[in-house]
Amino acid sequence: MSSFSDRLAQLVEKRGTPVLVGLDPRWERLPQDFIRDIESGDPVAQAIAVQRFCHGVIDVVAPLVAAVKPQLAFFEQLGPAGMQALADVIRYAHQQGLLVILDGKRNDIGSTAAGYADAYLGATSAWGGDALTVSPYLGEDSLQPFVDVAVQRDAGIFVLVKTSNPGGGDFQDLVADGETVYRRVAHRVEALAAKTASDCGYGAVGAVVGATYPEQLAELRKLMPHAWLLVPGFGAQGAAAADVVDAFDEKGLGAVINASRSIIFAHNRPEFRDRFRHDQWQQAVELATREMIEQLS
Amino acid sequence: MSSFSDRLAQLVEKRGTPVLVGLDPRWERLPQDFIRDIESGDPVAQAIAVQRFCHGVIDVVAPLVAAVKPQLAFFEQLGPAGMQALADVIRYAHQQGLLVILDGKRNDIGSTAAGYADAYLGATSAWGGDALTVSPYLGEDSLQPFVDVAVQRDAGIFVLVKTSNPGGGDFQDLVADGETVYRRVAHRVEALAAKTASDCGYGAVGAVVGATYPEQLAELRKLMPHAWLLVPGFGAQGAAAADVVDAFDEKGLGAVINASRSIIFAHNRPEFRDRFRHDQWQQAVELATREMIEQLS
């Protein structure tokens, strides 16, 4: 198997788009078809409904994009049955040819970090993601076990550098010795990315950089020439195509742009609500995906 | 029900010790009795072995301490069956009168943070912890959903402030405008703790502060008078009783001191190995717990 980084580069080029579809199956927003199972209060029925919904999204987006990004919180919210559904959704996405980036923002100190890396990327992982998002607050020695497992397993990690939320700056934007905390994190990420770079020029370690801060996105693209950028914040969070143009290298590679709600819950968007019946939610997903691909092309 | 903070204060006073037992059931270190299930490679058998082991630890420590702290990574490592085992371990700990602090170091932006809070502390949570550890890198707006759920549910959160690992200082110790990042986080934690303070004087929001940095522990105790401190790093990570003395207020309250490996895997400690047969591992757990209680008394 080739490295995660090369596989991502190949699939992004093959599909001709950097769009990444976030699977955030908030149970309270699922289309009407799923309501009965959700309202049953039975966690197994709820988890199966979420699983069916994710399959439905995957069926639509698999021919169009390179990867999906399940948000672990919404599977954990459904308990152990939700975690079983997550395993099934990952398997199904792989069968349909998609890469799977697990959004779990995990971390802990050394040997516990190794436990998380093993849980989500390891050889005997029940989930077996292609990549995992990781939080940097505990420092570089907490990142290393994830890097080790990622390299062994041809997987990847994306370290939070600059997040897309309004409060993201509270600690990330603090300036120490003339440099922001997020730049300090970025330097470490770049070092790890350069050390693990494969054929495509990017490494096993990437960075999460919000689309809602276009200037920092440009700054961070330059600062981390070997790091894939995972860019959330497009769509429902307000960022548009012009905001993410600087995330890419001169070949148009090096970044994947995530949208979650605006794609998977497209049937709820005001401009789509009158165009699609509730049982046509997959058509709304397809149109939203195609529109985003068009906007970013 | 009274607040998490008051329940913790009452139980710490009743047991007469701030010892917190960390449940880090690394499968490769379980006593010999469990090896066959672990080596079976069957995830359900492995998860049941971990569950049985945790029950065995709980049976010993429940009369002695106020709370246990399951480390989620080691349950997630066993897949959905491990997450089911976690639910069972939490239920059993509650039955035995223990409080349960879930060590998951979760976080994400706003509405996803709400998903995590709901998953581990919410009304329909499959796990239903009394408290959850949370990472601060995403800023204060990412903490608020956890605070909201914690207050609604008489639960608590512990925010990472200063961690016990060697690399903890990489970003936490950076100095911005004359103040370290960890102090900046501490100010936010104190504000949230003061706002949610209950009868015992402490709030629903506490802080994780490593025992391996005694000076910062003293500094942070003063800086966060309304925050419970969860202090890891005792025992296997090298800190001793003298290192944590400043974690407490003048009444001897306000902190819980965690040990994991040195208690639950006491049968592997060189000084215990000759005293207990492998089937006497629970006696080793008991002696290690009593020794730590004595050291901290």
pLDDT at position B18? 98
Structural domains of chain A, count: 1
CATH of the domain at A80: 3.20.20.70
By residue count, chain B amounts to 297
* pLDDT of A233 above 90: no
> Which residue's entry shows tokens 């792989």?
A94
pLDDT digits (tens, 9 = 90+) for A257-293: 999 999 999 999 998 988 998 899 999 999 999 999 9
pLDDT at position B236? 75
Tokens of B88: 């069972």
Considering Cα of A184, then A187, then A189, then A192, what sign does the dihedral take? negative
Question: Of the candidates A213, A192, A226, which has an alpha carbon nearest to the alpha carbon of residue A9?
Answer: A226
Q: Could you give the CA distance from residue B251 to residue A156 in angstroms, rounded to a whole number?
A: 48
Question: Of the candidates A128, A111, A150, A76, which has an alpha carbon nearest to the alpha carbon of residue B27?
Answer: A111
Tell me how far CA of residue A68 lies from CA of A18, A131, A254, in angstroms: 11, 11, 16
pTM of the entire predicted model: 0.97
Residue B29 contacts A where some CB pair is shorter than 8 Å: no
> Which residue's entry shows tokens 């996105």?
A217
C-alpha distance from A233 to closest chain B C-alpha (Å):
11
C-alpha distance from B176 to closest chain A C-alpha (Å):
4
Tell me which residue range forms the domain holding A129: 4-296
C-alpha distance from A238 to closest chain B C-alpha (Å):
14
Q: What is the mean pLDDT of residues A181-200?
A: 98
Among A18-27, A111-120, B267-276, where is mean pLDDT lowest? Answer: B267-276
Chain A CB contacts of B181 below 8 Å: 171, 174, 176, 181
pLDDT at position A20? 98
Q: Could you give the CA distance from residue B98 to residue B84 in angstroms, rounded to a whole number?
A: 19
Mind giving me the DSSP string for B209-252? E-TT-HHHHHHHHHH-TT--EEE--BGGGSB-HHHHGGGS-TTS
Question: Of the candidates B189, B256, B183, B247, which has an alpha carbon nearest to the alpha carbon of residue B218?
Answer: B247
Q: What contacts A143, CB < 8 A, 6 or more positions away?
A: A107, A113, A134, A136, A157, A159, A188, A192, A205
Task: State the best of A23, A141, A170 to mutate against chain B, taking most chain B CBs within 10 Å.
Answer: A170
Give me the residues of chain B with pLDDT under 70, please.
none
Encode burial over A187-213: b for 16+ CB neighbours within 10 A, e otherwise: ebbbbbbbebbbebbbbbbbbbbbbbb
Q: What is the mean pLDDT of residues A151-159?
A: 98
Q: What contacts A216, CB < 8 A, 6 or more positions away?
A: A162, A182, A209, A210
For A178, the closest chain B residue by CA position comes to: B176
C-alpha radius of gyration, chain A, whole number: 18
Residue A127 contacts B where some CB pair is shorter than 8 Å: yes
Amino acid present at B80: P
Q: What is the mean pLDDT of residues A203-213?
A: 95
Q: Could you give the CA distance from residue B111 to residue A165 in angstroms, rounded to a whole number?
A: 10
User: Longest C-alpha distance within chain A, in Å?
Assistant: 56
ipTM of the complex: 0.97
Nearest to B176 among A78, A103, A174 (CB): A174
Q: What contacts A240, CB < 8 A, 6 or more positions away?
A: A234, A295
- Active site annotation includes A105: yes
pLDDT at position B1? 81
Q: Which residues are bridge partners to A19 per DSSP? A: A257
pLDDT digits (tens, 9 = 90+) for B118-166: 999 999 999 999 999 999 999 999 999 999 999 999 999 999 999 989 9
Please return the burial class of A59, using the count of CB atoms within 10 Å of its CB with bins 0-12, 13-18 and 19+: middle
Residue A137 contacts B where some CB pair is shorter than 8 Å: yes
Do B165 and A116 count as a contact with CB atoms less than 8 A apart?
no
Residue A44 contacts B where some CB pair is shorter than 8 Å: no
Tokens of A40: 């049953």
